[in-house]
Amino acid sequence: MSLTDLTLFEATKAVVKGEVTSLDLVESTLNRIDAVDPKLNAFIRVEADTARSEAAEIDQARAAGKNLGPLAGVPLAHKDMYYRAGGLTTCGSKIRKDFRPTVTSTALARLKTDGAVYLGGLNMAEFAFGPTGHNEHFGACRNPWDPSRITGGSSSGSGSATAARMTFGALGSDTGGSIRLPAGLCGIVGMKPTQTRVSRFGVMGLSFSLDNVGPLTRTVLDNALMLASIAGYDPEDPTSATVPVDDYVGAAQSPSCNGIRIGVARGYFEKDADAAALTARDEALAAFKSAGAIIVETDAGNLDDVKAINALSALTMGPEAATLHAHWLRTCRDDYGAQMRARCEPGFQYSGVDYLSALQLRPKVVEDFIQRVFSDCDFLLAPTFNVETPTIEETDVLDHQGFEAVIARISQCTRPFNYLTLPGLALPTPSLVAGMPGSIQLVGPPFSEARIYQAAAAYEVEAGYTERSPDL
């Protein structure tokens, strides 16, 4: 077995015990990247010298008998929108191809404090605005289960690289599904935490009311380890929550679904769904039931309600994204890819009244949803996506006819939960769907991440997806 087959948790324990060095892990991942990334295009930039230098520091600390952090010596790569002072951060764009920020994101700083090693920047949709994994500047990222198919986006490289064992985990961002979609389509675990749970300081923004920072990993425990490192209040980000951080790792190590009520999201979440995707969803429900959960029906998928939520989400995202990009769209519009322009420019058409109304209505809409849905269940289960994984070619629509329909169909099931602020964990289904991963998302009330991890860890044992990997 290669060292890259270890889980993040196994790898860091091996470093702490002296069974392997951090440099061993780095060299193994660099060799894996050399062998596999030409097929997948998951990396924008590999920083081998940085990784080796940081690994050497970890190994020296261990030799000196110093305490190592919970991520000690494990190489991680991240969506190329997390700032590192003095380091390149392209944001998947031509406009920022040479951008070197003067600050380091709190998320990266916390990972480094806990002993993680930085491998490089991962491919992504341009400025994180796309759910498929296409990028006109750096090329499409490819799915390790079938390189002709999409990875999902916008955290495309995070999903592909983690699933392909080129990194032990990765940070992504999620504004409408951009962690959960690539996690789901690449067959791994991805957490969109509660809005404001993780600091966004030093992270490229898209829609500051909807953006979230979170991890993509191969197992639930690995995911809990990464979220535990980055979660919590940050004075550099006054919007970050002061709510205490629960013991995510302890929860993931104490798997239990006994008596947990899992509500099925139907209606909107089943609309126009491929039959195979719903079959995979039903297998996941059966696995939760086998683990001790109680399956109940909910009205969370009321079509009119979710359509209204999506409309409010669009009224929020559109103007905020347009505001962030207004200067560049005026001064260097041709440096944007066609898909990015087609998605961003309509944001200028919304009125200030509509935008502020969407923000003002949000607390009431969220409160109503929570009271209505979570009075009947502890968690909500919905597909992460309800289509069979499309190819890169058939979704390469740029700004041509059918573009919006493609975007809407792929992100149909993830998009509502960003406006609702709720945490959602994407998990692989027990069986593949036509040879590709299927995925469900487990959604809970605000700040229920620890309870989600506990239930998801029990499901993971029943589902058995950690035993499979893409054959590259």
Q: Edge-to-edge strands of the sheet including 117-122?
A: 43-46, 117-122, 75-79
Contact 206, 192 (CB under 8 A): no
One-letter amino acid for residue 16 of the chain: V
Selected catalytic residue, list 22, 154, 229, 448: 154
Residue 319, helix vs strand vs coil:
helix
Instruction: Give the contacts of 249 (CB within 8 A, at least 6 positions apart).
Output: 70, 221, 224, 225, 228
DSSP at 333: G
Q: Tell me whether residue 240 is one of the annotated catalytic residues.
A: no
Selected catalytic residue, list 178, 240, 439, 448: 178
Q: Tell me whether residue 148 is one of the annotated catalytic residues.
A: no
Q: Tell me whether residue 154 is one of the annotated catalytic residues.
A: yes
Tell me how far apart the terminal alpha carbons of the chain are, to the nearest angstrom.
Answer: 15
Distance CA 318, CA 330 (A): 17
Contact 217, 189 (CB under 8 A): yes
Give me the helix-helix angle, 220-230 and 106-113, nearest 10°.
110
Distance CA 416, CA 198 (A): 20
Q: Edge-to-edge strands of the sheet including 294-297?
A: 170-173, 213-217, 189-192, 424-428, 439-443, 379-383, 261-264, 294-297
DSSP element (H, E) containing 439? strand 439-443
Distance of CA 414 to the CA centre of its chain: 11
Selected catalytic residue, list 22, 28, 79, 93: 79
Contact 443, 379 (CB under 8 A): yes
- Would you state the structure tokens that stand for residue 283, as one six-digit string? 């297998």
E-assigned strands of 146-281?
170-173, 189-192, 213-217, 261-264
Residues annotated catalytic, as ranges:
79, 154, 178
